[in-house]
Amino acid sequence: ATGVRLPATVVFDHPSPAAIARHLLPEIVPDSAAAPRSEQDEIRALLASIPIDRLRKAGLLDTLRELADNDPPEAATEDGDAASFDDMDAEALIRMAQEDLA
């Protein structure tokens, strides 16, 4: 049913249903074997997946460098309250970067 080819010795190598499930799960759903990632890890992975030329063309490369090099200044949120970059989500950071470019 899964399409995964099993060796003839699978019941000897993995003698319980739980052991077989632990063996099969990473093959059926590869990402499930990885430990849950934090939001910070997910954002780092997303940023790492974007080609540098694309960041440069979007005008975000210098902004990202500034964010990485400096202590984050206070930024205004939509309701006017001050919030640090640490409190902002990715969408708010991108919106702020685009406003700075305009």
Percent of the chain clearing pLDDT 70 (strictly above): 71
Percent of the chain exceeding pLDDT 90 equals 0
Q: How far apart are CA 100 and CA 27, in angstroms?
A: 45
Co-location of 80 and 53 in the same domain: yes
Can you tell me the mean pLDDT for 58-73?
A: 77
pLDDT digits (tens, 9 = 90+) for 8-50: 888 888 888 888 888 888 878 766 445 556 888 888 888 888 8
Q: Write the CA distances from 3 to 6, 7, 28, 72, integer angstroms.
A: 9, 13, 9, 50
Q: What is the pTM of this model?
A: 0.35
Same domain as 79, residue 50: yes
Longest C-alpha distance within the chain, in Å?
65
Residues 46 and 93 in one domain: yes
Domain of 22 in residue numbering reads as 1-34
Same domain, 29 and 63: no
Question: How many other C-beta atoms are found inside a 10 Å radius of the C-beta of residue 11?
Answer: 12
Q: Do 54 and 84 have their domain in common?
A: yes
The reply to whether 47 and 84 lie within a common domain is yes
Are residues 82 and 48 part of one domain?
A: yes
The pLDDT of residue 64 is 85
